[in-house]
């Protein structure tokens, strides 16, 4: 996403944090993306901390990295819109406590992505989908239109809880089941006992989602997993 955004933006600052800046050898560095949308190369400014006013702050760190990432943003930095792409739901309130309720536009992104080296990314999956809260429809119209030009599917979702939990009820049970079995999705689905545990986990996640106001159904996650390539796995399994 950063590479595609840099390719069509006049200015993009790429915050990597003080702990991760060492591999980046220049203040202005090259970002590259190898994707079904083509090979993209663009330049962006790499910074340890974000001091200048920001129109849109895209947050794409892991949930466990959020606190340290926020420490790299001085309290007096002016941020008009914050778009977090993290998995889960708890981060939204954390960000709203910091930046303000209306400034935060929750979003999710779906697609297999891999960083092969600092600034170099590979997108092997045949799709890339971004869903954003409808509250950001006007403010994010321009960047969303630019993403669509690259073939990225973008949708605005009215119900924030549905937006966030729709990914959770798919990803969390899949990651847990795949990691516990140490098998990709095909191995989980071909084992009757593992498949039953997966179905039960999805059903429980959907109950939690509906209790929080989301409109989700367990049939869709199972349909998506059943139609996935048998070798499909998750980062959790490889990192355990």
Is the pLDDT higher at 156 or at 240?
Answer: 156
CATH-assigned architecture of domain 161-239:
Orthogonal Bundle (1.10)
Q: Report the percentage of the chain scoring pLDDT > 70.
A: 85
pLDDT at 24: 47
Q: What is the pLDDT of residues 160-191, one digit of tens each?
A: 999 999 999 999 999 999 999 999 999 999 99
pLDDT at 3: 45
Q: What is the pLDDT of residues 29-68, one digit of tens each?
A: 778 888 877 788 877 777 777 778 889 999 988 899 999 8
Exposed e or buried b per residue across 143-167, where buried means at least 16 C-beta atoms within 10 angstroms of its C-beta = bbebbeebebebebbeebbbbbbbb
Q: What is the pLDDT of residues 203-235, one digit of tens each?
A: 999 999 999 999 999 999 999 999 988 988 776
pLDDT at 13: 58
Is the pLDDT higher at 2 or at 181?
Answer: 181
Euclidean distance between CA atoms 26 and 7, whole angstroms: 18
Euclidean distance between CA atoms 60 and 225, whole angstroms: 24
The secondary structure element, H or E, covering residue 156 is: strand 153-157
pTM: 0.83
Residue where the block lists tokens 């998506």: 224
CATH code matching the domain that covers 2-158, chosen among 3.40.50.720, 3.40.50.12280, 3.30.9.10, 3.40.630.10: 3.40.50.720
In the chain, ranges of CATH 3.40.50.720 domains: 2-158
Q: What is the pLDDT of residues 227-239, one digit of tens each?
A: 988 988 776 544 5
């Amino acid at each position: 996403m950063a590479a595609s955004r840099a390719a069509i933006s006049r200015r993009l600052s790429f915050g990597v944090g003080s702990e991760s800046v060492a591999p980046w050898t220049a203040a202005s560095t090259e970002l590259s993306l190898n994707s079904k949308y083509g090979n993209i190369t663009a330049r962006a400014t790499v910074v340890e901390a974000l001091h200048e006013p920001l129109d849109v702050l895209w947050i794409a760190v892991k949930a466990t990295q959020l606190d340290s990432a926020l420490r790299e943003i001085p309290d007096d930095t002016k941020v008009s819109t914050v778009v977090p792409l993290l998995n889960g739901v708890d981060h939204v309130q954390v960000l709203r406590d910091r930046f303000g309720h209306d400034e935060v536009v929750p979003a999710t992104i779906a697609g297999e992505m891999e960083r092969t080296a600092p600034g170099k990314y590979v997108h092997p999956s045949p799709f890339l989908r971004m869903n954003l809260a409808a509250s950001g429809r006007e403010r994010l119209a321009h960047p969303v239109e630019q993403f669509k030009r690259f073939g990225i599917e973008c949708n605005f979702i009215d119900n924030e809880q549905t937006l966030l939990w729709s990914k959770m009820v798919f990803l969390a049970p899949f990651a847990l089941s795949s990691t516990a079995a140490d098998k990709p999705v095909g191995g989980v689905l071909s084992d009757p006992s593992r498949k039953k545990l997966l179905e039960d986990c999805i059903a429980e996640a959907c109950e939690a989602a509906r209790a929080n106001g989301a409109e989700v159904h367990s049939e869709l996650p199972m349909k998506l997993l059943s139609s996935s390539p048998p070798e499909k796995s998750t980062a959790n399994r490889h990192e355990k």
